[in-house]
Structure 1
Amino acid sequence: MPRRKSGKQHFENIEVLDAGAKGKSIAKAPDGKVIFLPNAVPGDVVDVQTFKKRKAYYEGKAINFHTLSQKRTEPECRHFGVCGGCKWQNMAYEHQLFYKQKEVINNLTRIGHITLPEVLPIIGSKKHYYYRNKMEFSFSDSRWLSQEEIESQAAIGNKNALGFHIPGMWDKILDIEHCHLQADPSNAIRNAVKQFAIRNDLEFFNTRHQTGFLRTMMIRTSSTGELMVLIQFFKDHVAKRELLLDYISGAFPEITSLLYVINTKANDTIYDQDILCYKGKDHINEEMEGLRFKINAKSFYQTNSEQAYALYKLVRDFAGLSGSELVYDLYTGTGTIAQFIANRAKKVIGIESVPDAISAAKENAQHNKIDNVDFFVGDMKHLFNDQFMRIHGRPDVIITDPPRDGMHKDVVQQILNISPKKVVYVSCNSATQARDMALMNAIYKVIKTQAVDMFPQTYHVENVVLLERRETDN
């Protein structure tokens, strides 16, 4: 087999032209191939070192900047460029919005071959920083070391870290001093816990060797002012566990839900683990238009509460309900959209594959005194079938909010078989959204689309599309 060329080439004075998928900027090489760059902004003029070559493109890095783009801004975070969480902090927010909307339009038109009669302006976030209501941090006894630290030859003392995984390095954690994504007291709690653990010789986790005591920490906040902290331990040691939890409780009395989990598995996921309440309640509450949603440690809830409200209002507006419709809410999660629109519909049926999510949806609906919603658990491509329709009725409107992979082709086909008058498609991945809509194009036409920026400083964006059934000549 012939060896693939390494693609290591050097190009000078290359203008960065655009921003594309996964936050990478786009330039053109002298030979006409596209160059993807992770560390440049459209408008920069740079020298490029490539490290990978494919048939139609290079992957590279800007190694020298001749001209800095006017679209640039100074990153707020000292960890920018190392932490992979906020790749667009060096781009002014109005330009972030421009490129997010551009990518959505490109995906819908190029992948889906969709005609877009009305593209409404992207809904930006009022908060550009400190907008997340959930953060997860990892403990490590072998933190990531900068090149300067490695080359200094100086003895490196404490290697403990509490922060984020370095992109592409599953066993290395970047120690975070200040994160600009979650409002106080998030940073104060994280830094205090780290220092207390070091002072008291509480062992930080080692992912490679599966040793240690402290594994992860999750912090959740809510618009109601409630605060959840969950510590994940690799093994149980009652005295050490209670020492740390008592310290957290005393140092931060504003915590309303202090939880822990003992997870001895090889991975950090807690969805198959027992969550134990150490102090306070086992949940926090989120509120929206008088509806209260109980959020436990395993609950999915949009991580930008203010923009979640904007997103749900948009979905409700696109659905255009009069009060007489049967609505199906596919991939309903904990039923937040279903309950949010319930007072505008005759009946709403939510379907979700995660049993815990459906249990939470039913509990929240009961608490909110909503009696025209029903929730069902099951694999979408199996449960959402003709028999289900015969029992529960054929929907007038379908709202679908699938995961990043989009809808299974069988689910798309079932929507086409049912052929409701309207489909409101919510997506966190406009590429898979476009793929699914291409399958629906013969029966449905796009009426309008609008993006919602849930994650400033990143390339991620939500998009909502209203589709209506095409009129037939019959």
Structure 2
Amino acid sequence: MHLKEKLHKGQVLQNVKFHDISAEGMGIGRTSDNIVVFAESVVPGDIANVKIVKIKGSYVIAQSVEIIQASPYRTQPFCRHFGYCGGCKWQHLSYDAQLSFKKKFIHDALTRIGNLNIPDIQEPLKSPQITEYRNKLEFAFSNNRWIEPELFSKENKTQLPALGFHISGHYDKVLDIQQCHLQNDISNQIRNFIREYAVQNNIPFFDIKNRTGILRTLIIRNTSLNQWMVILGVYEIDDRVFLLLDAVYRQFPFIHSLLYAHLFSLNDSIHNGKIYLHKGNDYIVEQLGHLRFKISATSFFQTNSLQTYHLYNKVKELAQLTQKEHVYDLYCGTGTIGLFLAHQAAKVTGIEYLPAAIEDAKENARLNNIQNIEFFSGNIENILTDQFVNAQGKPDVVIADPPRAGMHKNVLHQIRKIAPKRIIYVSCSPPSQARDISFLSDMYEVKHIQPVDMFPHTTHIENIVLLSKIQET
């Protein structure tokens, strides 16, 4: 019998035993009559009653109603917004358990998707901080606050403004955030001050559906050197914007970079707007080891600075450089990995598709007086040609840190032709990493696998794989 013939939406399934967790963070369990259940808010080891939300062909998606028996992995979430915000889906799972399941994700990806023979996976590198670890948060303004169901009543149906995060899957719904534990508490102070000032001075929050209002987004960045950047995104510009910015600077005079962005397009990304400096510098500075990096409003930088240092050190260790090697840094972004390795290499060649990122990379090379590195901008699959390799010289070592989709097939073909001695593949997506490594597996052997936890309390994991060229016999 088809599941839809025996079950219905809203039905409560009793005493479901959960034994695993999906890469998206949902608990996986089975009922007593062997129906597969994916459910939010449960962890492996829980026994729970769950309410069906959707019925698929061979399984159901459900929401926890009651925990009958709590798993030993379960812990108390520390954020009052847990369950609604969606930013830290694993707060209810102990940190050691999070790392264990992330390691399992990597193993499953490499062996099942990649069909690879692999050595033992190293224990994931724990994040030095598991709260307040982010150096960047992006918030949205809305004139219509989303209210948690348990707080919803006829009395509070009045339209209220919000400054916080979009509800997962609902672009037009924003949850007002009073305290976020992902960034230093100064971020909360700045955000809450801006909300209160705007409400008191009748500065309209953005109406997402009707596309009216002034205040649209807020980005707050900070560095380990305690430098702060605040970027206020506005749909319209008038005198009230400047009065608000002046008030922010008076309240928080330590802000190094105070900017505003005119966001007039459909997309609210600051990359699509025009950015103006209001006070201070148009950048902040981060330090990793002996290097300093300028970070502008649109610069990409890993969002967990302390753990980034450990990640780069691991890449440096695996690269085994002796100041004689030529290194290709593919998908180099703002050049941070290549710059971090440059003093141990003879030459570094970085390639990145975003021109703005390459300009940041060149500026950071000048800032650190690094002269044995050269950067090229454009689609990597178009740049990394035979002519390019002949002109620049073949690499001994290739570092690749591609986006989630992985490496373009043309890039993989060119890597096979170049045949470097070692490849260090850094990835935020174990499935695409496994697929790409599988394509190289007849030429390269997986020698070392090191997960690095950049995002505690989420399902995301960074993974470093060292590939060594198989010696011809």
The farther-off stretch of 176-185 and 48-57 is 48-57
Residue type matched to 1:187 in 2?
Answer: N
- Per the alignment, residue 73 of structure 1 pairs with 75
**Residue aligning to 1:107:** 109
Deviation at 1:119, TM superposition (A): 1.6
Moved more, 102-111 or 58-67: 58-67
Q: Which ranges in structure 2 are unaligned for 5 or more consecutive residues?
A: none
CA drift of 1:225 comes to 1.3
**What is the distance in 1 between the residues matched to 2:447 and 2:56?**
38
Instruction: Indicate if the aligned counterparts of 1:333 and 1:357 stay in contact, CA closer than 8 A.
Output: yes
The one-letter amino acid of 1:127's match is: Q
Report the Cα distance in structure 2 between the residues aligned to 1:315 and 1:426, rounded to whole angstroms: 8
The letter for the 2-side match of 1:197 is A
Tell me which residue corresponds to 2:306: 306
Query: 2:248 is matched by which residue type in structure 1?
Result: I
- Following superposition, the deviation at residue 158 of structure 1 comes to 5.4
Identity of aligned residues (%): 45
| TM-fit CA distance, 1:10 | 4.2
Q: Is the 8 A contact 2:90 2:458 kept in 1?
A: yes
Alignment of 1:214-233 (within 5 A): 214-233=215-234
Per the alignment, residue 97 of structure 2 pairs with 95
Q: Does 1:125 align with 2:118?
A: no
Partner of 2:30 in structure 1? 28
So what's the TM-score if we normalise by structure 2?
Answer: 0.96
Secondary structure of the corresponding residue to residue 293 of structure 2: strand
SS of residue paired to 1:121: coil
Deviation at 1:184, TM superposition (A): 2.3
Give the direction of change, closer, same or farther, for the CA distance of 1:3–1:195 in structure 2 (3 Å limit).
Answer: same
| Residue in 2 that maps onto 1:250 | 250
Counterpart CA distance in 1 for 2:285 and 2:372 is 22
Q: Which moved more, 1:288-297 or 1:26-35?
A: 26-35
How many angstroms apart in 2 are the aligned matches of 1:442 and 1:270?
A: 43
RMSD: 1.6
Q: 1:215 Cα shift?
A: 0.5
Choose 45-54 or 195-204, whichever is displaced more. 45-54
User: Per the alignment, in what secondary structure is the counterpart of residue 185 of structure 1?
Assistant: helix
Q: Deviations over 1:356-391 (max 9, x none)?
A: 000010011011000100000010111111111011
How much has 1:58 moved relative to structure 2? 2.4
3-state SS, counterpart of residue 24 of structure 2: helix
Task: Flag the 1:265–1:293 CA change in 2: closer, same or farther, 3 A.
Answer: same
| SS of match in other structure, 2:356 | helix
Tell me if structure 1 keeps the 8 A contact 2:166–2:174. Answer: yes
Contact 1:118/1:447 (8 A) holds in 2: no
> d(CA) in 2 for partners of 1:413 and 1:24?
36
Aligned to 2:290: 290
Decide whether the 8 Å contact of 1:45 with 1:65 is kept in 2.
Answer: yes
Show the 5 A alignment for 1:167-316: 167-237=168-238, 239-316=239-316
Query: Could you say which residue in structure 2 is the equivalent of 1:153?
Result: 154
Q: Relative to 1, partners in 2 of residues 1:12 and 1:352: Cα closer, same or farther, differing over 3 Å?
A: same
**8 Å CA contact 2:145, 2:173 repeated in 1:** yes
Distance 1:3 1:235 in 2: 51
Gap change, CA 1:470 and 1:12, over 3 Å in 2: same
d(CA) in 2 for partners of 1:299 and 1:358?
Answer: 10
Match of 2:448 in 1: 448
Conserved? CA contact 1:7–1:58, under 8 Å: no
Partner of 2:136: 134
Equivalent residues of 1:45, 1:66 under 8 A apart: yes
2:121 is matched by which residue type in structure 1?
Answer: V
Q: Secondary structure at the residue paired with 2:208? A: coil
- The whole-number CA distance in structure 2 between the counterparts of 1:256 and 1:436 is 41
- Measure how far apart 1:273 and its partner are: 2.5
Number of equivalences: 470
Per-residue deviation, 1:274: 2.4
Residue 472 of structure 1 deviates from its aligned partner by 1.5
CA distance in 1, matches of 2:95, 2:150: 31
* 3-state SS in 1 of match to 2:218: strand
Q: 1:61 to 1:155 in 2, by over 3 A?
A: closer
Q: Secondary structure at the match of 1:21?
A: coil
Aligned to 2:350: 350
1:51 correspondence with 2:53: yes
Deviation at 1:62, TM superposition (A): 2.1
Q: Tell me the equivalent position of 2:327.
A: 327
Per-residue CA shift, 1:162-188, capped at 9, x if unaligned?
Answer: 000001111010000100000021000
Letter in structure 1 aligned against 2:456:
P
1:130, 1:182 within 8 Å by CA — same for their partners in 2? yes
**Secondary structure of the corresponding residue to residue 202 of structure 2:** coil
Report the Cα offset of residue 114 of structure 1: 1.2
User: Which stretch has the larger CA shift, 154-163 or 212-221?
Assistant: 154-163
Post-superposition shift, 1:50?
A: 2.7
Q: Is the 8 A contact 2:113 2:435 kept in 1?
A: yes
Kindly indicate whether the alpha-carbon contact (under 8 Å) linking 1:141 and 1:204 is maintained by their aligned counterparts in 2: yes
Shift of 1:71: 0.9
Measure, in 1, the Cα distance between the counterparts of 2:141 and 2:251.
Answer: 20
Residues 263 and 273, structure 1, Cα contact 8 Å, conserved in 2: yes
Which SS does the other structure have where 2:139 is aligned?
strand
Opposite residue 212 of structure 1, the aligned amino acid is G
Matched residue, 1:361: 361
What is the TM-score with the length of structure 1 in the denominator?
A: 0.96
Partner residue in 2 for 1:37: 39
Matched with 2:428 is 428
**Amino acid of the structure 1 residue aligned with 2:191:** R
Is the 8 Å Cα contact of residues 325 and 396 (structure 2) preserved in structure 1? yes
User: Which residue is 1:116 aligned to?
Assistant: 118
User: Mind listing any 5+ residue stretches in structure 1 that lack a counterpart?
Assistant: none
Contact kept, 8 Å, 1:443 with 1:470, in 2: the verdict is yes
1:163 is paired with a residue whose SS is: strand
Q: CA deviation at 1:30?
A: 4.2
SS of match in other structure, 2:133: coil
CA deviations on 1:303-354 (whole Å, 9 max, x unpaired) are: 0000000110111111111111110000000000000000111100000000
